[in-house]
Amino acid sequence: MASGMLVCVTGAGGFVASWLVKHLLQEGYIVRGTLRDPENPKNAHLKELEGAKERLSLYKADLMNYDSLCNAFKGCDGIFHVASPVSDDPNLVPVAIEGTKNVVNAAADMSVRRIVFTSSYGAVHMDPNRNPNKVLDETCWSDTEF
């Protein structure tokens, strides 16, 4: 993909997604970010990123709502699906599966050329030896053997 292309980042307000949005803007991409509530003050940092005024738009979307994803993905060249709770929590597994199916189906129906799938939760949380009271940050990684 090249600068100037339109991409969408699901869960744009999350830790990893925010950094991805920042990087994409710095590289000249036009970025759409999906959020459950774009007006929530916790997402205000996105609007302050360099290039955001010119090339960032925030869309209200829910992974469980296919139509909201189609709206956000229409015209996009690529999707970065970052908003997926990869977990061993039995309550989150169905949400992750259905949400990802909705993302893939909406992207296909909107003729999106590429999808990148990742999860910050999956990258840092899956460690049975992690102290549950420790704040998760860039020093924390999931145990690949687990």
pLDDT confidence tier of residue 34, bands split at 50, 70 and 90? very high
Contact criterion met (CB below 8 Å) for 86 and 79: no
pLDDT at position 112 over 60: yes
Residue with more model confidence, 131 or 50: 50
- H helices present in the chain, as ranges: 15-26, 44-47, 52-55, 66-73, 93-109, 120-124
Q: Domains in the chain, please, with CATH?
A: 6-124 (3.40.50.720)
- Give the integer Cα–Cα distance in Å for 81 and 74: 15
The model's pTM is 0.83
Cβ-based neighbours of 97, under 8 Å, separated by 6 or more: none
Tell me what the mean pLDDT of segment 117-122 comes to: 73
Cβ-based neighbours of 96, under 8 Å, separated by 6 or more: 84, 85, 86, 87, 119
Number of Cβ within 10 Å of residue 115's Cβ equals: 18
| Residue 131 confidence (pLDDT) | 87
pLDDT confidence tier of residue 1, bands split at 50, 70 and 90? low
Share of the chain above pLDDT 70, in %: 94
| Residue 62 confidence (pLDDT) | 95
Q: Distances in Å between the alpha carbon of 143 and those of 96, 97, 124? A: 20, 22, 8
Question: What kind and span of H or E run contains 7?
Answer: strand 6-10
pLDDT at position 141 over 90: no
Tell me what the mean pLDDT of segment 102-112 comes to: 97
- Strands of the 6-10 sheet, one edge to the other: 56-60, 30-35, 6-10, 78-81, 114-117
